[in-house]
Amino acid sequence: MSHLSLANIIKTYPNGFEAVRDVSVDIAKGEFTVFVGPSGCGKSTLLRMVAGLETVTQGTITLADRVINDLEPARRDIAMVFQNYALYPHMTVYKNLAYGLVNRGFPKAEIDRRVREAAEMLQITEYLDRKPQQLSGGQRQRVAMGRAIVREPEAFLFDEPLSNLDAKLRNHMRLEIKRLQRYLGTTAIYVTHDQVEAMTMADRIVVLNKGKVEQAGTPAEIYHDPASLFVAGFMGAPAMNMLEARFEDGHMILPGNIRVHALARPDRDEATLGLRPERITITRTPVNGTALPFQLDLVEELGAGRLLHGRVGETPVTVSTSGDGEVPADDLHAEFPAAAMHFFDKETGARL
C-alpha cells in the first residue's frame, strides 16, 4: 500500500502551458524516490504541488490516507529541504533548527531534545551557537536537513539540495542523505537533474520528460531495460550509444554501410540500436560476426578506467574500458554480444 500517492496529476498554468501531464506515482512508506529529468520536465513543479506551494489543476495527492490537495503547507506534515538552504542569517544554528517547532507551540524540553538529537545525528553539535555565515556550504546543508528532521514529518521533500556544492562535497552529502533517510525510515522524494545522483541514491527512479513519466522503476531496471530512447540516452554516464540500423537477409546494416551478422533483431526492418559503452569490447582481432570497424579519435583517461571516443562509420561511439595497457591507434574493431543490444522505434522512441 502506498504511503504517498500522486494520481492523475495535471498542472496547467493560466497561459495554457501544461507543466505536468497526467502523472501517477505511488510511493511506499520509507521509500526513497527520485524524480529526475532535464530542466523544464515538471519534476520541481510536482514536488511543489506535494508541498502545497503550487495548486493542483487536476488529480489527487494522498499522504498517509489523507487527501492533501487543499491543505495549507503547514498542515501537510511534510518537511522540505531547498537548494538554497533557506536559513535565517540572523539566527544561530540552534534557533534555525528550533524555529518551526517554536511556531507550532512545542514545549521547550521537547524542542531541545529534538534539536540536540538532530544535531548529533548530523554531527553539527559544535556549531549550534554559530550563525549560518560562519558555516561552510556542507555545514549549512546539514542545518537545512536538521530543520527538516526535527519536524519528524510523514515525508521529506528534497529540491536539488546539492546543486550549490562542489563535486567532492556533493558525493559525500549524497551518502549522508541516503544514510539518514534509511536510519529515519521516512518516505522521501528527491528532485534532481543529475542522473548519477538518481542512480546512486534512489530506491526507485521516476524519469520525467516534458511533463510526463517516461519510466518508473529501480535503478537497475531503468539502466538495463530503458523504456524509451529518451531514458536510454538520459540515464547513464557516459550515455548509451545510438546507431541507426537496417535489417535484410539476416544481416544488420549500420552507418557507413557496415554490414554484420544480425545476432538479434526487432520485428521490423529499421530501428535504432542502443549499446551501453561498457558492453562494447575493442579488439584488433575480431572473434564474432558483430565486429564493427572503429576509428579511434580520443582517449579520455579516468585513472581506474578510460573512455575511448571514436566513430563507427560517421556515428560517434564511446567505449568504456579498464585503464590497463596501451590502446592501439588503428585497425580497431568494436564487438558486443547479442544481450547488449537494445532496439528502439525510430519514430516514437519506444523500446522494441
Note whether 142 and 218 are same-domain residues: yes
Check if the beta carbon of residue 249 is closer than 8 Å to that of residue 228: no
Note whether 230 and 246 are same-domain residues: no
In a domain, 128, yes or no: yes
Q: Which CATH number is 327's domain given? A: 2.40.50.140
Check if the beta carbon of residue 187 is closer than 8 Å to that of residue 4: yes
In a domain, 351, yes or no: no
Of the three residues 169, 204, 234, the one that is the final residue of a domain is 234
Q: Which CATH number is 165's domain given? A: 3.40.50.300
The mean per-residue pLDDT over the stretch 235-263 comes to 90
Residue 215: per-residue pLDDT: 98
In a domain, 330, yes or no: yes
Distance CA 43, CA 35 (A): 6
| Cell numbers representing residue 58 in the block | 487536476
In a domain, 285, yes or no: yes
pLDDT tier for residue 43 given thresholds of 50, 70 and 90: very high
Which of 22-26, 157-161, 247-251 has maximum average pLDDT?
Answer: 22-26
Note whether 287 and 197 are same-domain residues: no
Of the three residues 212, 234, 256, the one that is the final residue of a domain is 234
Residue 290 has pLDDT above 80, yes or no: no
| Cell numbers representing residue 158 in the block | 528534497
Give per-residue burial for 27-36: e unless 16+ CB within 10 Å, then b: beeebbbbbb
Q: Is 323 exposed, middle or buried (0-12, 13-18, 19+ CB in 10 A)?
A: exposed
Domain that holds residue 76: 2-234
Placement of cell 501531464 in the chain: 21
pLDDT tier for residue 67 given thresholds of 50, 70 and 90: very high
Check if the beta carbon of residue 346 is closer than 8 Å to that of residue 271: yes
Note whether 195 and 284 are same-domain residues: no
Note whether 42 and 157 are same-domain residues: yes
pLDDT tens digit string along 185-240? 999 999 999 999 999 999 999 999 999 999 999 999 999 999 999 999 999 989 99
pLDDT exceeding 70 applies to what percent of the chain? Answer: 99
Note whether 19 and 168 are same-domain residues: yes
Query: In this structure, are strands 270-275 and 241-248 parallel, antiparallel, or unpaired?
Result: antiparallel
Check if the beta carbon of residue 250 is closer than 8 Å to that of residue 213: no
Quote the number of domains for the chain.
Answer: 2
Note whether 230 and 307 are same-domain residues: no
Note whether 247 and 227 are same-domain residues: no
Other CB atoms within 10 A of residue 111 CB: 20
Query: What's the pTM value of the predicted model, to 2 decimals?
Result: 0.90
Mean pLDDT taken over the chain = 92
pLDDT tier for residue 28 given thresholds of 50, 70 and 90: very high
The sign of the dihedral angle between the CA atoms of 92, 98, 103, 105 is negative
pLDDT tier for residue 167 given thresholds of 50, 70 and 90: confident
| Cell numbers representing residue 133 in the block | 555565515
The mean per-residue pLDDT over the stretch 121-134 comes to 93
Note whether 150 and 77 are same-domain residues: yes
Query: Which amino acid, 89?
Result: P
**C-alpha 90: how far from chain center:** 34
